[in-house]
Amino acid sequence: MIRSDEIPCVPGPRPPPRGTDLPVLLPAAEIVARRAAEERARGGSTLRLRARHGVWLFLAFVFFSGVAEARTGVGGPFWVLSTLWKWSPLLAEGFMLNLIMSFLAMVIGTVTGTLLGVAQISLMPSVKNTSWFVTQFFRNAPWLVLMFYVMYLVPFQFRIGDIVIPFPDWIKATLGFSLPVMANVSELVRGGIQSIPSGQKEAAESLAFTRRQVFWMIIIPQCVKRILPPWMNLYAILTQATVLASIVGVTEMVTTAHEILGAEYEPSLLLPLYTYVLLWFFAYCYPIARWTMHLERKFAV
């Protein structure tokens, strides 16, 4: 079990520059290094979406629709827009699947990742090393390959006695996404725990808390605060990554878009359709990204 005096701790806020009293580079350099270390822990760069991105995306959509209208000239004016409107319910179904996949994968990945992350700071070398290895393994594997792996190896149905549990392909894809999420959450949790200043647990122990109480009542709640912004950022990245499921044929939004293109057989519909899809994703990811930025500012040290 975890002994509190052996949790490795690194001071949370920026450590003072070592080696000299007169800095040789601007503080900006340290900020760059710190941000890189954070990015390395959170598994992707921060999504910084602003309202103007949505505006430009919308303008691009209008522009491409206009170009497409001009090229086709068939079906009367606003053919492109009316076609997109006609297909929107189907696209909405596909988008729902993207969101469900991202939600489920995030839940599964967070639960397993937290356990893995706590295991990484365990005192038993076998547990610590195995969990470290598993984390690094799934962090270094491409998301697409992991998804293929799960898709092809998990059977399409499970039989327990008389009960048959079908595993449709979107559930398999969800499991495939939860693996890299698990690895990234594990790193976040480990980093979060290790970043709590040692003064915290010393103060708690001096108040006669047991080791277990120190861990669960003092360290974990603070970790949650620190981990929340990168965790939300991970969710935004995951949502955007769910389009990978289209490669294995899951009927999510991009696959639906391809089917629509096939049905309509109008190549100039492609760019308006894709910008339309991007607008939907933006509408979903933008509030998440803004909330993440807000949380980061709130929790900034």
Partner 1 sequence: MEAFWEWFRWLYDETGINFSVLYDPYNREKFAAAMFVTVQIAVYVLFITTLIGLFGVWMQRSRFRLLRWFIRGYIELFRNTPKLVQLYCLYFGVSAFLPRFDDGTGLMAPLIGAFTWVILAFALHYGAFTVEVFRSGIEAVPDTTIEAARALGMTKLQVYRLVVLPLAFRICLPALNNNYVFVVKGTSLAYAVGINEMLYAANQIYTLDANVPEMMTVLLICYVSLVSIFVAFMNKLERALKMPGYGT
Partner 2 sequence: MTWTPDQPIITIVDVHKSFGEVEVLKGMSFDVSKGEVICIIGPSGSGKSTLLRCINALIPINKGSIKVEGLEVHDPELDQLALRRKVGMVFQQFNLFPHKTAIENVMMAPVHVLKQDKAEVEEQAHRLMAKVRLQDKEQSYPGELSGGQQQRVAIARSLAMNPQVMMFDEVTSALDPETVKEVLFTIRELVEEGMTCLLVTHEMGFAREIADHMYFTDNGVIVEHGPPSTFFKKAQDPRTQEFLSQIL
Our finding on whether 45 is near partner 1 (CB under 8 A) is yes
Q: How far is the CB of 26 from partner 2 (least distance, A)?
A: 7
Our CB check for partner 1 shows the closer of 25 and 203 to be: 25
- Three-class secondary structure assignment of the chain: CCCHHHCCCCCCCCCCCCCCCCCCCCHHHHHHHHHHHHHHHHCCCCCCCCHHHHHHHHHHHHHHHHHHHHHHCCCCCCHHHHHHHHHHHHHHHHHHHHHHHHHHHHHHHHHHHHHHHHHHCCCCHHHHHHHHHHHHHHHHCCHHHHHHHHHHHCCCEEEECCEEEECCHHHHHHHHHHHHHHHHHHHHHHHHHHCCCHHHHHHHHHCCCCHHHHHHHHHHHHHHHHHHHHHHHHHHHHHHHHHHHHHHCCCCHHHHHHHHHHHHCCHHHHHHHHHHHHHHHHHHHHHHHHHHHHHHHHHCC
Residue from 2, 12, 39, 100 touching partner 1 (CB under 8 A): that is 39
The stretch near partner 1 (CB under 8 A) out of 41-49, 107-115, 184-192, 221-229 is 41-49
- Report in angstroms how near the CB of residue 31 gets to partner 1 at its nearest: 8
* Residues that contact partner 2, how many (by CB under 8 A): 8
Taking the least distance from each CB to partner 1, the nearer of 57 and 219 is 57
By CB under 8 A, residue 148 contacts partner 1: yes
Dist. CA 72–CA 282, nearest whole Å:
28
The pair of three-digit structure tokens given for residue 267, joined into one six-digit string: 């190549």
Q: Which is nearer to partner 2, 1 or 26 (CB)?
A: 26
Question: Which of the listed partners (partner 1, partner 2, none) does 21 bind, with a CB threshold of 5 to 8 Å by partner kind?
Answer: partner 2
Question: To 10 degrees, the CA torsion angle through 106, 107, 108, 114?
Answer: 90
Span near partner 1 by CB under 8 A; candidates 12-20, 100-108, 155-163, 169-177: 12-20
277, 91 Cβ separation under 8 angstroms: yes
Q: Name which of residues 20 to 39 contact partner 2 (CB under 8 A).
A: 20-26
- Please identify which residue in 12, 17, 103, 132 interacts with partner 1, judged by CB under 8 A: 17
Quick one: which segment of 99-107, 201-209, 227-235, 246-254 binds partner 1 (CB under 8 A)? 246-254
Which range of residues in 5-13, 17-25, 152-160, 169-177 is near partner 2 by CB under 8 A?
Answer: 17-25
Closer Cβ to partner 1, 163 or 265, answer by number:
265
> From residue 141, how far is each of 3, 42, 256 by CA, in Å?
32, 15, 27
Q: Which is nearer to partner 1, 1 or 153 (CB)?
A: 153
Output the smallest distance, CB 63 to partner 1, in A. 13
Q: Does 16 bind partner 2 (CB under 8 A)?
A: no
* Residue 153 binding result from partner 1, partner 2, none, given CB thresholds of 5 to 8 Å by partner type: partner 1
Q: Does 254 bind partner 1 (CB under 8 A)?
A: yes
134 close to 160: Cβ distance less than 8 angstroms: no
Nearest to 61 by CA among 280, 239, 242: 280
Residues forming the site for partner 2 (CB under 8 A): 19-26
Residues forming the site for partner 1 (CB under 8 A): 15, 17-20, 24-26, 28-37, 39-40, 44-45, 47-49, 53, 56, 136-137, 140-146, 148-149, 152-153, 240-241, 243-244, 246-247, 254, 267-268, 270-271, 274, 277-278, 281-282
